[in-house]
Amino acid sequence: MRFFPRPLQLCLILLLIPTGIMSAAPHSIPELVISSGDVDQTSAVLWARTPALGIIRFEVWEDGPLGLTDLVGTHEDRVSNAMRPVKFEITGLEAGKRYFYQVVDRGGAIRTGIFVTPSVVGSYSGLRFGVTGDWRGDLAPYLSLRNVLDRNLDLFVLLGDTIYADYPSPDLNSRQAYTVAEFRVKHAEPLSRRLGLNFWAEVRASTALLAMIDDHEVTNDFSGGALPSTDRRFGRQGTFINETDLYRNGLQAFTEWMPIRAETFTGTGDPRSEGKPRLYRYRHYGSDAAFFLLDARSFRDAALPPFEPTDLLNPLRVATAKIAAFESGRTMLGAAQLTQLKTDLLAAHQAGITWKFILVPQPIQNFGTLGAGDRFEGYAAERSALLEFITQAGIKNVVFIAADFHGTFVNNLTYQTCAACPLLPTSMWEIVTGSVAFDAPAGDSFALILEHYGVISTTMRQTYQRLPVAIKDALLTSMLNLLLRAQGYDLLGFDTLDNRVRVLKGGAVASNTYGWTEFEIDPVSQRLTVTTYGILPYSAADLDQRFDQIIGRVPEVISQFEVQADF
């Protein structure tokens, strides 16, 4: 569903655009930031953060004839802590409508935002939404987002690593946030003005959000369903890591700083999920698309033992790792969430919704045993069971969207019923998207790994880093395909979907830029167009030392392809 701005709407959007460029500063400057989220056909959560203590007022209008608006709701709250945002849920909305909201704080700051309620099943309005993940606080103000406002999105999904609680940054120079107050600082940092710019403030005001954690909202590579004794970072309290103070503090801050409802799992009969945060979401936008947002951290079993690159040369070690990943009962999603996902997938299928987007922060496509412990491949039995369920139920047009890899990778999905069983094809595919800003991006990081293990020399790595982006992506694609071929997996791309896919620009890999990915569904044909935007990466040192040289970077189309819906 795409609504084109009218003159009044353009004026409101202009209120979001910052004016002027300030000189470089080491710390961010807080300001009024607003957003909407958890939007369904009749309700939305409105959110605001302001440094001004006192009364804050929300007003909500429905888009009316001739660009006029009708007031549909107001809300006042008191800001008593500048580091704790306020939010409220507005109900009684109409499906398929555009709404404006204005927020005024005690200091007189005013922000105006926009969101659209999804249409009801049976309508085909088209849809345009964005997805990204992974942004570090020291890399604000996130130039890769500067074109989001121009794209007039219906929805934007924040797919994990929305902060890096375990990385030092200008506003919290610590290797790990521990207290709720420290986690709040980490969430405030990307939303504050830095170097005269605040692109996240613009994005969050311009469209509705869905948001999910990965690991860095708490700490790196944690497993919420594991015993606390398996990870010394979490102390000893509780039966599961998702009952420890570090997890709870991280989740409290995440829930506070995102425009989402605070929900919990109830009646599950499973102690690892009962009473725990329920971040899972199912939303549908008319008959165009359904979204299934998965929490892949809070309930997962402990990861498999680390697998080193040198282990790839040991066939026995590779075979042992694959067998361990297929251990029956190992879960990444938890029983309650997996059951709900299957129920909602069937509901979307039976309702005739065209596209089903399963959003999970970690990739589900095969990359091999290296690093598999943190991905769905490390929980291979559950992975195969999910893909088999979708296949046997005849659910079509299923797309997995992931993040976490700091680059874009596209591949069709296959599965095995055992570690030594043949690969079975599916009609599903996945795209990994992001990062907004993580230094270094996937391509350069992979080159550094190859240098570390002596596969390439320092000179070769430096030569690679100086190459044009398209050539770097092509080289990385070739390297990854060598690894995939050696392990018997499908190569990157659309091997099983060739007759429905048309590549317009780039290829299956875009791993040397910062950016985000847009998905657009045509209301008539239901064709899906996927566009990845990117800018050349930069470091924290670049921001401090040569900001004037990178301020002009504008996101460009790095890759683009179309997929015809399967009817």
Number of helices (H) and strands (E) in the chain: give both, helices first.
Answer: 11, 21
Q: What is the mean pLDDT of the chain?
A: 93
What is the token pair recorded at 6?
A: 């009218």
Q: How many Cβ atoms from other residues are within 10 Å of residue 259's Cβ?
A: 25
Longest dimension (CA), the chain: 70
Tally the domains of the chain.
1
Which residues 6+ apart lie within 8 Å of 287 measured at CB? 121, 122, 123, 124, 351, 352, 353, 354
Which residues 6+ apart lie within 8 Å of 552 measured at CB? none
Do 533 and 144 touch, CB atoms closer than 8 A?
Answer: yes
* pLDDT tens digits, 448-466: 988 988 889 999 999 999 9
The H-assigned helical ranges of 267-334 are 315-325
On whether residue 54 sits in a domain, the answer given is yes
* pLDDT tens digits, 331-361: 999 999 999 999 999 999 999 999 999 999 9
What CATH number is attached to the domain comprising 327?
3.60.21.70
What is the token pair recorded at 527?
A: 């064709």
Residue type, position 403, single letter: A
Range of the domain at 494: 7-563
pLDDT at 139: 97
On whether residue 372 sits in a domain, the answer given is yes
Least confident among 67-71, 135-139, 142-146, 161-165: 67-71
On whether residue 454 sits in a domain, the answer given is yes
Query: What are the C-alpha distances in Å from 156 to residues 152, 204, 223, 523?
Result: 10, 8, 26, 19
pLDDT at residue 18 tops 90:
no
On whether residue 1 sits in a domain, the answer given is no
pLDDT at 1: 47
* pLDDT tens digits, 474-515: 999 999 999 899 889 999 998 777 689 999 999 999 999 999
* pLDDT tens digits, 155-196: 999 999 999 999 999 999 999 999 999 999 999 999 999 999
On whether residue 85 sits in a domain, the answer given is yes
pLDDT at residue 545 tops 90:
yes
Q: Tokens 């007031």, residue?
A: 71
Do strands 208-212 and 155-159 pair parallel, antiparallel, or not at all (unpaired)? parallel
Residue type, position 256, single letter: E
On whether residue 149 sits in a domain, the answer given is yes
pLDDT at residue 315 tops 70:
yes
On whether residue 2 sits in a domain, the answer given is no
Do 441 and 448 touch, CB atoms closer than 8 A?
Answer: no
- Rounded to an integer, the average pLDDT of 526-533 is 98
